[in-house]
Amino acid sequence: MTRTTFTPALWVTGLALILFAGTGSASDGEVTVPVPGPWGDDYSETLDDPATVDATEAFQRFRQQSMQGTSATYRSIEQILRYDAPFAERLPELADELARRADDIGTWFARETPARDGEPGALPAAWGDPEFAEYKVSYREAATELQRKVDAAEDLEDPAFQLRATEALNGVRHHCLACHDNFRRR
Ligand code: HEC
């Protein structure tokens, strides 16, 4: 009786077949979609099957992506103020963006979409505890305070200004941490 030995080459061929199958299903709950473009037709991406992601989950994922975006904005400002990344001239637009995101946070919680049992996500308290509203308001004020300090700066490179701005950034960070501590499960 002959047996097929799965050499690395066979594995790679098999993997390539699965990846480039176009509309083929990658594994349970996933689909592989073709992503053609100017660099060729060989690109594809494996994603969660949209048929398995309901509107509630999509809402929750949108919120998570928005939080990730907030984090990227926050961390970019941090690179400038704490680590001297040479992008001080970008501070006004980044501080505006952080404040705009803080303004927007209410919409990310407009629908009651808490984490499923034991999974990471928002705790039910985000919809049940009236204090949550205060966390949002106070967070917006902290982000606006940073924006004000940046707008008032005469010289964005000035160390004294950067120190004041770093204090305001810490004020924002306090709100990220406190809200997560009370309303988020990791
Ligand atoms: C008013 C409350 C609140 C504030 C303020 C807040 N967050 Fe969140 N954040 C949450 C909650 C609740 C979750 C969990 C959301 C979920 O998974 O549905 C979360 C999730 C996250 C996540 C994980 C997203 C993911 O992919 O699962 C990141 C990153 C994050 N926040 C960054 C920040 C940063 C950075 C700040 C401050 C600049 C901030 N958050 C301010 C409530 C808050």
Output the pLDDT for position 2. Answer: 45
What are the structural domain ranges in the chain?
Answer: 8-51, 54-185
Any ligand 1 atom below 6 A from CB of 172: yes
Give me ligand 1 centre to Cα 117, in Å. Answer: 18
In ligand 1, which atom is closest to the CA atom of 123? 12
% of the chain surpassing 70 pLDDT: 87
Contact 60, 121 (CB under 8 A): yes
Distance CA 138, CA 145 (A): 11
Work out the number of other CB atoms within 10 angstroms of the CB of residue 165: 23
Residue 19: pLDDT band (50, 70, 90) is very low
Q: Work out the average pLDDT over 20-37.
A: 78
pLDDT of amino acid 25:
52
**Residue 26 binned pLDDT confidence (cut-offs 50, 70, 90):** confident
Beta bridge partners of 45: 33
Please give the number of the atom of ligand 1 that sits closest to the Cα of 136: 1
pLDDT of residue 17: 40
What's the predicted TM-score (pTM) here? 0.88
Cα dihedral value 80, 82, 84, 88, nearest 10: 30
Q: Which CATH class is domain 54-185?
A: mainly alpha
The residue-averaged pLDDT of 57-67 equals: 97
* Per-residue model confidence (pLDDT) at position 9: 47
